[in-house]
């Protein structure tokens, strides 16, 4: 089947996007449309002394000005973090109260204190500016070290010392002993810079309250509409689930930031009921910078001990994670189960201990951003490996090879069981594709041009498709992490796939259709993928953590199994053959070894006519399935960056970037490569360009595209990609996931390459020309002093 598994099928969904016919949330305008504008705190930490809305209420077009007291008075619940992490002393994490509209206190610049609902967006915005808020300013904490300092200002009463939890994993004593006995110890302080996710489509919500039905509809920019509905119902008391429909139509990128249920969606729904108007809100970019959950922001110290042959004996890590002013939905899981559990990297390490403290600061809440914890782990491990190789005078690839895990399954000391992999094979492919052998000559040639050329490696591993539900439940997750699907075969033989996964760029409408086309031998155009609407799809956990392939498609396969079984029964009955002899091939349902067959659509028709079905069979041809994985999946790969630095300016060119990934089975290589490209660009962004920076008063300095440097086309090279495949043994298609790899594997490769080029290992992200230039000067300084 030319459109089946492994085919580079062009995307079915493209047509509407390239012709301007996509339907994003902000494109939706309903009858009786009113608009919301939020009044936001301009202080990072303050008490709200007085809120005067009278001037705003008197303005043209203003329907209502609503505040947090009204919101909580109506029983709207506080925003929650859905993953409970206990400190190492057994105490529960300290979650501070977060109301969608603040009542007494504001804790970051951007915290919403009121909302204006007006006839037009311009009127709403104008009136929001006329709301007078009197604040009593309080001392501010911005950085992680400051948050934990003695006498630091308290952000939440129930989090003494601003500490959310103090958590650990692994065996501390054994790790200390192992490192004490090492012949070489590499020690580093490593900062993972704070980022702003910046999907190009700003968040948006259209909330519609139907008084007659006492029913709500929410159009929203969500990666997981069912989770949104669940949380809006069960925790925020906006409406019970059967009275709330959530639709995530075309969504313009997410990268994690559209997982969460934000104050704005809650407020729009509630305001729609309050005002009897449909309420629409669309963020502008400035608002996105101060309200979308940020990512990363870790500070760590690490020690890695080696024996004389370069084998790793132990790794000890101490990390502080900045959570911002409130605990966002999955924040607590990021520096624990998505980070510390990956600190073994691709290496056979017997002893690992990690201590993680999470702290509050007066900044935007921080949560999962593409990779979520795994980029931080990979950056730490891979910077340590490269540094250790330099310190021990070993080839960095060789040091990695010596330590690569060779046998699977492999249990790490940080609770992961890697199912399969071929780490040497990934390295071989990456080194060949990057022509590592020719590097010395290229370096010499660059030197002749006055350029510093460097090469850097990164061998990443990630855990995707977080599961099984019982296991994540035992670790504190407040949800199950399965996926659901329904396969509907229509009487004419066309097929609808209803999936709980959500596509916001990943190409599910094509990839998911491919596995159906392959299985049933029907044209891909006869398959429609339906997603993103809680009224259409029964349930779903959505798309994040590279789970749509390994988990979402597995659910489709399970449902197809059931459809196939029924198809075979109907065909066997009609063709008077044994069920075991029925095969589905090339759009026909045949009796193997005979010329007896039915066309695929004839079986569909037979199922719905129900004139002649096997005794006792229900009419129709539609099956659903829930799939709960048995383990995480473990994509892994090797990335190699080659850079040229201009020593006069610090300007760095990425002259070559090579990625060799093992994603298990690949359904559509074109789409998978696209995912890697985008991930690499975000990784380069983190390594060289992007940084969410606050001043000491808690004002975001990088709050627009003038100050926050997004990767542009001319910051990036064309990439060289290769694949190595070990099939995941734990799901029906053998898939591992590919969405986050690029963002995880790239930053250490880049920084390892730049530090190699300039001969100074002390370099922080983002490695801007200024930072690189300074590092070059610092490397020269001792020489000058001699």
Partner 1 sequence: MAKVKLTVNGRAVSRDVPDTTLLSEFLREDLRLTGTHVGCDTSQCGACVVHVDGKAVKSCTMLAASASGGEVTTVEGLANGELHPMQKAFNDNHGLQCGFCTPGMIMSGVDMVNRYKQAGRELTEEAIRHELEGNICRCTGYHNIVKSIQDAATKM
Give the footprint of partner 1 on this chain (CB under 8 A): 10-11, 13-24, 26-27, 29, 122, 198-202, 250-253, 255, 284-286, 504-507, 670-671, 673-674, 676-682, 704-706, 710-714, 716, 718-719, 742
CA 377 to chain centre: 15
Which position among 170, 263, 505, 745 is part of the footprint of ligand FES (CB under 6 A)? 505
Smallest gap from residue 302 Cβ to partner 1 (A): 29
Smallest gap from residue 678 Cβ to ligand FES (A): 8
Q: Which is nearer to ligand FES, 200 or 309 (CB)?
A: 200
Q: Which is nearer to partner 1, 12 or 383 (CB)?
A: 12
Q: CB atoms < 10 A from the CB of 583, how many?
A: 16
User: What percent helix, strand, coil does the chain show, rounded to 5?
Assistant: 35, 25, 40
Q: Which is nearer to ligand FES, 161 or 253 (CB)?
A: 253
Picked from ligand FES, partner 1, none, the partner binding residue 263 (CB below 5 to 8 A depending on kind) is none
Smallest gap from residue 508 Cβ to ligand FES (A): 15
Q: Considering the rule CB under 6 A, would residue 200 count as an interface residue with ligand FES?
A: yes
Q: What is the size of the binding site for ligand FES (CB under 6 A)?
A: 4
Smallest gap from residue 17 Cβ to ligand FES (A): 8
Smallest gap from residue 715 Cβ to partner 1 (A): 9
Smallest gap from residue 441 Cβ to ligand FES (A): 37
> Coil, helix or strand for 89?
coil
Smallest gap from residue 199 Cβ to ligand FES (A): 7
Picked from partner 1, ligand FES, none, the partner binding residue 20 (CB below 5 to 8 A depending on kind) is partner 1
Smallest gap from residue 46 Cβ to ligand FES (A): 32
Which position among 4, 22, 61, 253 is part of the footprint of ligand FES (CB under 6 A)? 253
Picked from partner 1, ligand FES, none, the partner binding residue 13 (CB below 5 to 8 A depending on kind) is partner 1
Please calculate the CA angle 149-375-463 and round it to the nearest 5 degrees. Answer: 120
Picked from partner 1, ligand FES, none, the partner binding residue 729 (CB below 5 to 8 A depending on kind) is none
Picked from ligand FES, partner 1, none, the partner binding residue 119 (CB below 5 to 8 A depending on kind) is none
> Coil, helix or strand for 484?
strand
Quick one: which H or E segment has residue 448? helix 439-448
Helix axes 508-520, 554-575, angle to 10 degrees: 30
Q: For 596-614, what is the HEC assignment?
A: CEEEHHHHHHHHHHCCCCC
Quick one: which H or E segment has residue 169? strand 163-170
Picked from partner 1, ligand FES, none, the partner binding residue 470 (CB below 5 to 8 A depending on kind) is none
Quick one: which H or E segment has residue 340? none
Q: Is the dihedral of CA 412, 414, 415, 417 positive or negative?
A: negative
How far apart, in whole angstroms, are the C-alpha atoms of residue 199 and residue 77?
28
Picked from partner 1, ligand FES, none, the partner binding residue 47 (CB below 5 to 8 A depending on kind) is none
Q: Which is nearer to partner 1, 215 or 677 (CB)?
A: 677
How far apart, in whole angstroms, are the C-alpha atoms of residue 177 and residue 548?
42
Q: Considering the rule CB under 6 A, would residue 468 count as an interface residue with ligand FES?
A: no
Q: Which is nearer to partner 1, 11 or 401 (CB)?
A: 11
Do 721 and 676 meet the contact criterion of CB atoms below 8 Å apart?
Answer: yes
Picked from partner 1, ligand FES, none, the partner binding residue 673 (CB below 5 to 8 A depending on kind) is partner 1
Query: Could you tell me the two tokens for 608?
Result: 């719905």
Smallest gap from residue 684 Cβ to partner 1 (A): 8
Do 484 and 625 meet the contact criterion of CB atoms below 8 Å apart?
Answer: yes
Smallest gap from residue 225 Cβ to partner 1 (A): 16
How far apart, in whole angstroms, are the C-alpha atoms of residue 371 and residue 679?
9
Compute CA distances 513 → 9, 499, 589, whole Å.
Answer: 10, 11, 19
- Pairing outcome for strands 452-461 and 636-645: antiparallel
Q: Which of 671, 558, 683, 547 is nearest to 224 (CA)?
A: 547
How far apart, in whole angstroms, are the C-alpha atoms of residue 354 and residue 390?
24
Q: Is the dihedral of CA 148, 151, 156, 158 positive or negative?
A: positive
Residue 610 CA neighbour count, 13 Å, CB half: 8
How far apart, in whole angstroms, are the C-alpha atoms of residue 428 and residue 430?
6
Picked from partner 1, ligand FES, none, the partner binding residue 552 (CB below 5 to 8 A depending on kind) is none
Q: Which of 605, 507, 606 is nearest to 552 (CA)?
A: 507
Smallest gap from residue 263 Cβ to partner 1 (A): 20
Picked from ligand FES, partner 1, none, the partner binding residue 251 (CB below 5 to 8 A depending on kind) is partner 1
Q: Which is nearer to ligand FES, 643 or 681 (CB)?
A: 681
Q: CB atoms < 10 A from the CB of 177, how many?
A: 14
Q: Which is nearer to partner 1, 260 or 337 (CB)?
A: 260
Do 336 and 374 meet the contact criterion of CB atoms below 8 Å apart?
Answer: no
Q: Which is nearer to partner 1, 260 or 719 (CB)?
A: 719
Smallest gap from residue 3 Cβ to ligand FES (A): 23
Q: Considering the rule CB under 6 A, would residue 706 count as an interface residue with ligand FES?
A: no
Q: Which is nearer to partner 1, 547 or 590 (CB)?
A: 547
* Residues of this chain that bind ligand FES (CB under 6 A): 200, 252-253, 505
């Amino acid at each position: 089947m030319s459109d089946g598994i492994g085919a580079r099928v062009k995307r079915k969904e493209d047509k509407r996007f390239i012709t301007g016919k996509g339907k994003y949330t902000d494109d939706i305008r309903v009858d009786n449309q009113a608009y919301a504008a939020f009044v936001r705190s301009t202080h990072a930490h303050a008490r709200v002394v007085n809120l005067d809305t009278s001037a705003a209420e008197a303005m043209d077009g203003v329907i209502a000005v609503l505040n947090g007291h009204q919101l909580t008075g109506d029983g709207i619940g506080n925003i929650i973090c859905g993953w409970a992490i206990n400190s190492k002393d057994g105490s529960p994490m300290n979650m501070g109260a977060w109301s969608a509209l603040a009542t007494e206190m504001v804790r970051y610049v951007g915290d919403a204190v009121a909302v204006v609902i007006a006839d037009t967006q311009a009127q709403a915005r104008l009136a929001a500016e006329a709301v007078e808020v009197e604040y009593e300013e309080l001392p501010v904490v911005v950085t992680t070290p400051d948050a934990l300092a003695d006498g630091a200002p308290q952000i939440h009463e129930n989090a003494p010392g601003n500490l959310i939890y103090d958590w650990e994993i692994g065996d501390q004593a054994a790790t200390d002993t192992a490192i004490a006995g090492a012949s070489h110890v590499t020690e580093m302080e490593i900062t993972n810079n704070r980022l702003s996710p910046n999907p190009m489509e700003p968040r948006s919500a259209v909330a519609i309250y139907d008084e007659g039905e006492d029913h709500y509809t929410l159009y929203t920019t969500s990666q997981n509409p069912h989770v949104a509905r669940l949380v809006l119902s069960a925790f925020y008391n906006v409406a019970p689930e059967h009275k709330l429909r959530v639709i995530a139509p075309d969504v313009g990128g997410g990268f994690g930031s559209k997982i969460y249920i934000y104050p704005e969606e809650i407020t729009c729904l509630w305001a729609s009921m309050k005002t009897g108007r449909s309420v629409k809100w669309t963020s502008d970019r400035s608002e996105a910078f101060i309200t979308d959950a940020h990512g990363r922001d870790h500070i760590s110290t690490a020690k890695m001990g080696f024996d004389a042959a370069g084998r790793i004996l132990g790794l000890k890590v101490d990390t502080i994670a900045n959570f911002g002013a409130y605990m966002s939905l999955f924040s607590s899981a990021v520096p624990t189960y998505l980070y510390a559990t990956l600190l073994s990297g691709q290496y056979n390490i017997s002893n690992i201990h990690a201590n993680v403290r999470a702290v509050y600061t007066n900044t935007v809440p921080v949560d999962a951003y593409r990779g979520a914890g795994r980029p931080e782990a990979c950056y730490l491990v891979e910077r340590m490996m490269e540094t250790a190789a330099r310190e021990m005078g070993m080839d960095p690839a060789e040091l990695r090879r010596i330590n690569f895990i060779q046998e699977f399954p492999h249990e790490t000391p940080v609770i992961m069981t890697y199912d399969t992999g071929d780490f040497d094979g990934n390295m071989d492919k990456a080194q060949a594709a990057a022509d590592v052998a020719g590097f010395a000559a290229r370096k010499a040639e660059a030197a002749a041009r006055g350029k510093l050329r460097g090469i850097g490696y990164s061998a990443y591993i990630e855990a995707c498709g977080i599961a099984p539900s019982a296991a994540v439940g035992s670790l504190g997750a407040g949800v199950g992490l399965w996926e659901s699907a329904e396969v509907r075969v229509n009487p004419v033989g066309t097929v609808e796939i209803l999936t709980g996964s959500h596509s916001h760029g990943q190409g599910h409408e094509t990839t998911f259709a491919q596995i159906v086309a392959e299985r049933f031998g029907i044209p891909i155009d006869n398959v429609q993928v339906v997603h993103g609407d809680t009224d259409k799809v029964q349930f779903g956990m959505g798309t994040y953590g590279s789970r749509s392939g390994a988990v979402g498609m597995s659910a489709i396969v399970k449902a197809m199994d059931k459809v196939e079984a029924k198809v075979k029964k109907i065909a066997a009955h009609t063709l008077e053959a044994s069920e075991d002899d029925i095969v589905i091939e090339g759009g026909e349902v045949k009796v193997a070894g005979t010329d007896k067959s039915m066309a695929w659509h004839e079986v569909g028709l037979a199922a719905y006519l129900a004139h002649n079905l096997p005794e006792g069979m229900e009419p129709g041809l539609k099956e659903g399935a829930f799939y709960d994985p048995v383990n995480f999946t473990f994509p892994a790969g090797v990335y190699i960056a080659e850079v040229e630095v201009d020593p006069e300016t610090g300007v760095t060119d990425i002259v070559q970037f090579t990625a060799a990934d093992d994603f298990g089975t690949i359904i559509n290589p074109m789409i998978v490569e696209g995912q890697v490209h985008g991930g690499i660009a975000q990784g380069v962004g983190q390594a060289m360009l992007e940084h969410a920076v606050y001043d000491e008063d808690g004002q975001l300095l990088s709050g627009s595209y003038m100050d926050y440097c997004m990767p542009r086309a001319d910051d990036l090279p064309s990439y060289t990609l290769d694949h190595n495949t070990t099939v995941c043994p734990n799901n029906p298609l053998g898939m591992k996931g590919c969405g986050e790899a690029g963002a995880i594997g790239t930053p250490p490769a880049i920084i390892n390459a730049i530090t190699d080029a300039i001969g100074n290992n002390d370099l922080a992200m983002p490695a801007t020309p200024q930072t690189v230039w300074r590092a070059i000067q610092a490397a020269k300084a001792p020489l000058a002093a001699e």
